Structure 1
Amino acid sequence: GPDNFNSTNYIINNLVAGTYNCMITDSLECPKIISIIVNEPPPLEIELINVDNLDCYDNAGVALDVSGGIGTLEGTINTSWGENSDFTWNNPGQWYLEENNFNQWEGLINLTVVDENGCSTSLNNILVESWNDPIANFSTSTYETGLLETIELFDLSSQDAQIISWQWDFGDGNMMNEQNPIHFYDNPGQYNICLIIEDENGCQSEKCKLINIYNNVYVYIPTGFTINDDNINETFLPSVNGIVKESYEMLIYDRWGGVVFSTNNYQEGWDGTYNGKVLESGIYSYKISYLTPNSKQEEHKGRITLIK
């Protein structure tokens, strides 16, 4: 279109793309015509390269590539969680939003970029999610058992990312890194079993549970005894170990079912007497009952021979 000027320098703005003819005339009215091609600037574009979702260490990021446009680019970021920011790019290229740009991550990000010509482009609804932290959990085949008894442990952990390591601490100085190990204890007591898991993002979780280990119950009951004053096998005294001692009871019956002796002391035996008198030789019956450390009621019945 026509645009006249009479200076040696002249700037024309707001031209659209196309070919323009410029005629220059000197003081002698000699003309000179030249053609000028005005190209369309490269379109302003934003490309989403990658989204790093929020991990357990509050790390997150969005990789973008900004291209095209003219001059310095101005950017505006709006987030669904309410944090907004303005940015300036002197040179288009890859750009990375990271955890330092915001106090909080997780939600939607909308980005608008404007160049010096007022051309703009937007990239909306960039979704940043958070990884659910792994949750360690496990079960055991028993939470109360005796010495040297095999205990099976089962990993029940939940996770979004793949678990890559399991670290078991059995509380007795032993550790193991299998997913579902077995273990036993050689000393009685209460032990804290702990499982630490780690997923492929480096996130960890720990779970601990108590297990009670008691002495194994041992009961030996003799079949007879003699009361002949030789100080050998003079009383009927069962040998017991690992029981709840306060729960112990022993009853001795004659052949008619009468109780001739009773005690709640596991260290007290029957000397073959009833009301201070030595009973006749023969067969007698016994009943012994007690609780195991895991509160199980045990009972033993049988016969013994009294020999004078």
Structure 2
Amino acid sequence: MGAEFDNPAQIGIYSFINGSYKFVMERDIQHGAVEELEFVENPCLILPSNVCVEQTSYVINLTNMPIIAGSYIASWQRCCRNNTINNIVAPNNTGATYTIEITEEAQRTCNNGPRFTNFPPIGICVNDPINFDHSATDKEGDNIVYEFCAPLQGGGPLGVNNPSEQSLCEGITPDPRNCLPPYVNVIFNAPNYSAVSPLGVSSSISINPLTGLISGTPTLTGQFVVGVCVKEFRNGILLSILRRDFQFNVVNCQSSVSASIHSDAVVNGKEFVLNSCGNNTVTFENESTIEQYIKTYKWSFNISGNAVEKKTRDATYTFPGVGNYKGTMIVNEGLPCGDTAYINVNVFPSIDADFQFTYDTCIGGPVSFRDMSVTKAQNLTGWDWNFGDTEKSTVRNPNHLYQEPGLLPVTLIAMDNNQCRDTITKKISYFPVPPLIIIKPTRYVACVPASILFNNLSVPIDDTYKIFWDFGDGETGDDISPTHEYKTEGTFSIKVEITSPIGCYTSDVFPNLITMEPSPVADFIYTPEVINSLNPTAVFTDLSTGANGWFWDFGGQGRSFMRNPTFTFQDTGLAYIKEVVFHPNGCTDTLIKTIDIEPVVQYFLPNAFTPNYDGKNEVYKPAGLSEGVQSYSMTIWSRWGESLYETSDPEAGWNGRKNNTGQELPIGVYLCVLRYQDARNRPHELREFVTLVR
């Protein structure tokens, strides 16, 4: 179990005279600010996430205390320690006592006790030497002696579940009035651990009695309680004893840093090669990681026989001239997690890229590029051209034909035998007119009326150019590739004029390029005007002009190539009649007309029937054609206006009984009313007197 700081803490004051302890008083003291310690002096150490150390202070002022022939003891007891401690028995049931002894001599001289200089490190690295300054300072300059001693127990686990037991001497907050010194030492896990070997006998940790320096090499990982007693002497007389109780967290330290710099190449992971072309001053960009664990940097170069060192993260050096220079960059020098980057600097002669170009500014053609680069090295070895239009070249003096005009950035990267490079970019204003105007219409011969797209394949042009088209029929256009509709017959010449943004001009005429042929005109009639299921045959008469060929499609029910065909429709409904006529020149025209082949609905009402069970004429219903009927209602009335039978089923009939289920109706005359809608929803009504005969 763990414990938070008591607030207040119950501090007991005791006297120790002639080997006997007595309770003097209790003071309840509030603690000061609580601070979580995050500082780790060893940058090689990355603490586990579950390690948390806090500190605070309790300040007690005691005045008018009589000088006694013995010592005063001030103590605070608290349970319990954290259960992760390795070197003592049952740490989660073992408390701690923090105490100081003020001797009679210290009382008489109003002595100031020693104060520790440093807080113990939160963590230390296993198998790495430790040298921790655990010294204290004394205001009067008294002699101080240091030694490892056993930390003290204090209290116990009682009261965790029963609050009434908390103040017992074995409770978590012992009552100082009842729990007097002397206090019991913690029990170390012998034989591997003891007060003088708190980190294990194999670790050989010791404290210098004169300086307080704790040194040695921990060999075991874990959490260890350490006790240090500081005895203050003046003229050989003991003034006070101060006992410090703390923990060392020994962990496996990782190599958390790696020395690295930005370079042109890396050899074997640690040699960083930098090339400087024409510049003796080199700035080194430090890329070492992890930066938060790097405490020191050290750059070193031997320049003209002198070691030039810098201790900043980045560094700049000026070298005397062309040559090779070697150096190092060390992070965390002298620490176990230090690392070294080896630097190889090549200072090469300068290289300057340059080029010229020539071309005809008004007539489209290739641009000639000439390399003008110079180097103080042995020779130039390579050229990378980017012409600004996605095209590239590695020829020293290339020619390039642009397909598009524009203000184009041309870039040259020149290289020498040292792999030094230099880059230059120049803009070329390339706005010539095409050396040859090329157009390609989608059709050269068409039938009036016709729309023709004129594809302008001339290069170089874009939408910054002025384009003028004369289509030969009195119409003009200004698009790069226009579409024009011809509405008259004839042969037409095309003229194209192109003017560039810088005023260059060219034109061309394409004589008799487009021919527009006359088109036939389709037309027809059919008889009779009304075609239905009783009369499904139609005669088609062609009225077209300028045609010498015909094609008919009768709504998908049949075809014909006759000029004046006759066709009998097999299905009723709407039929889309298409006539395509052909001109001798190949031009066509199409006409579509819609014919309604209507299903005929036709009924006849008989005037008598004989429901006498002889199997003949037993049921009264209409006769006729009912295909396509949309609604239907037949009603039988008596002479007194009584409805005797009604149906909406065209197949049903009246059997001479009321509603076809009652008693037989008497012989006589009845009225039949038939209402229906035909296939085109036209209403119809028929009436007939019906004689019922038995």
**TM-score, normalised via structure 2 length:** 0.25
In structure 1, distance between residues paired with 2:519 and 2:604: 54
In the other structure, the counterpart of 2:619 is: 235
Q: CA deviation at 1:269?
A: 0.7
Q: CA deviation at 1:210?
A: 4.3
In the other structure, the counterpart of 2:532 is: 145
Task: Specify the code of the residue in structure 2 equivalent to 1:55.
Answer: A
In structure 2, distance between residues paired with 1:296 and 1:154: 30
Quick check: which one's strand share is greater? 1
Which moved further from structure 2: 194-203 or 239-248? 239-248
- Go from structure 1 to structure 2 and tell me whether the alpha carbon gap of 1:178 and 1:156 turns closer, same or farther (over 3 Å shift): closer
In structure 1, distance between residues paired with 2:595 and 2:485: 41
- Go from structure 1 to structure 2 and tell me whether the alpha carbon gap of 1:214 and 1:203 turns closer, same or farther (over 3 Å shift): same
Task: Specify the code of the residue in structure 2 equivalent to 1:263.
Answer: T
Identity of aligned residues (%): 28
The answer to whether the Cα contact below 8 Å between 1:169 and 1:195 also exists between their aligned partners in 2 is yes
Q: CA deviation at 1:245?
A: 3.7
Q: Deviations over 1:143-164 (max 9, x none)?
A: 762244343445465x6xx222
2:578 aligned with 1:194, yes or no? yes
Q: Deviations over 1:150-205 (max 9, x none)?
A: 43445465x6xx222222222323424224x4433244455442211012322112
In the other structure, the counterpart of 1:136 is: 522
In structure 1, distance between residues paired with 2:665 and 2:446: 81
1:271 to 636, 646, 655: 655
2:563 to 162, 178, 201: 178
Q: CA deviation at 1:281?
A: 0.6
In structure 2, distance between residues paired with 1:126 and 1:191: 44
| Equivalent runs, 1:31-70 vs 2, <5 Å | 55-56=446-447
Q: CA deviation at 1:298?
A: 2.8
The answer to whether the Cα contact below 8 Å between 1:214 and 1:242 also exists between their aligned partners in 2 is no
| Equivalent runs, 1:1-308 vs 2, <5 Å | 55-56=446-447, 80-81=470-471, 109=493, 130-131=516-517, 133-138=519-524, 140=526, 142=529, 145-155=532-542, 157=544, 162-170=546-554, 171-179=556-564, 181-188=565-572, 190-274=574-658, 276-308=662-694
In structure 2, distance between residues paired with 1:55 and 1:272: 76
Task: Specify the code of the residue in structure 2 equivalent to 1:56.
Answer: C
Q: CA deviation at 1:222?
A: 2.6
- Go from structure 1 to structure 2 and tell me whether the alpha carbon gap of 1:257 and 1:110 turns closer, same or farther (over 3 Å shift): closer
Q: CA deviation at 1:295?
A: 3.0
Q: Deviations over 1:49-105 (max 9, x none)?
A: xxxx953298xxxxxxxxxxxxxxxxxxx97228xxxxxxxxxxxxxxxxxxxx989
- Go from structure 1 to structure 2 and tell me whether the alpha carbon gap of 1:81 and 1:110 turns closer, same or farther (over 3 Å shift): closer
In structure 1, distance between residues paired with 2:485 and 2:649: 68
Q: CA deviation at 1:246?
A: 4.0
Unaligned runs of at least 5 residues, structure 2: 1-443, 451-467, 473-482, 496-510
In the other structure, the counterpart of 2:96 is: none
- Go from structure 1 to structure 2 and tell me whether the alpha carbon gap of 1:292 and 1:263 turns closer, same or farther (over 3 Å shift): same
The answer to whether the Cα contact below 8 Å between 2:551 and 2:559 also exists between their aligned partners in 1 is no
- Go from structure 1 to structure 2 and tell me whether the alpha carbon gap of 1:156 and 1:189 turns closer, same or farther (over 3 Å shift): same
Task: Specify the code of the residue in structure 1 equivalent to 2:522.
Answer: A
In the other structure, the counterpart of 2:310 is: none
Q: Deviations over 1:242-286 (max 9, x none)?
A: 343441111222223443222111111111122623221111121
In structure 1, distance between residues paired with 2:494 and 2:619: 92
- Go from structure 1 to structure 2 and tell me whether the alpha carbon gap of 1:80 and 1:234 turns closer, same or farther (over 3 Å shift): same
- Go from structure 1 to structure 2 and tell me whether the alpha carbon gap of 1:189 and 1:223 turns closer, same or farther (over 3 Å shift): same
Q: Secondary structure at the match of 2:548?
A: strand
Q: CA deviation at 1:132?
A: 5.3
- Go from structure 1 to structure 2 and tell me whether the alpha carbon gap of 1:301 and 1:277 turns closer, same or farther (over 3 Å shift): same
Task: Specify the code of the residue in structure 2 equivalent to 1:233.
Answer: N
Q: Secondary structure at the match of 1:206?
A: strand
In structure 2, distance between residues paired with 1:230 and 1:198: 68
- Go from structure 1 to structure 2 and tell me whether the alpha carbon gap of 1:256 and 1:148 turns closer, same or farther (over 3 Å shift): same
In structure 1, distance between residues paired with 2:521 and 2:536: 29
In structure 1, distance between residues paired with 2:618 and 2:649: 18
RMSD: 3.9
The answer to whether the Cα contact below 8 Å between 2:629 and 2:678 also exists between their aligned partners in 1 is no
- Go from structure 1 to structure 2 and tell me whether the alpha carbon gap of 1:146 and 1:105 turns closer, same or farther (over 3 Å shift): closer
The answer to whether the Cα contact below 8 Å between 2:605 and 2:623 also exists between their aligned partners in 1 is yes
Which moved further from structure 2: 139-148 or 278-287? 139-148
Larger radius of gyration: 2
In structure 2, distance between residues paired with 1:152 and 1:220: 31
The answer to whether the Cα contact below 8 Å between 2:533 and 2:600 also exists between their aligned partners in 1 is yes
- Go from structure 1 to structure 2 and tell me whether the alpha carbon gap of 1:294 and 1:140 turns closer, same or farther (over 3 Å shift): farther
In structure 2, distance between residues paired with 1:136 and 1:209: 11
In structure 1, distance between residues paired with 2:683 and 2:648: 15
- Go from structure 1 to structure 2 and tell me whether the alpha carbon gap of 1:243 and 1:208 turns closer, same or farther (over 3 Å shift): same
In structure 1, distance between residues paired with 2:603 and 2:485: 65
In structure 2, distance between residues paired with 1:153 and 1:263: 43
In structure 2, distance between residues paired with 1:217 and 1:131: 51
Q: Secondary structure at the match of 2:669?
A: strand
- Go from structure 1 to structure 2 and tell me whether the alpha carbon gap of 1:104 and 1:221 turns closer, same or farther (over 3 Å shift): closer
The answer to whether the Cα contact below 8 Å between 1:169 and 1:176 also exists between their aligned partners in 2 is no
The answer to whether the Cα contact below 8 Å between 1:243 and 1:291 also exists between their aligned partners in 2 is no
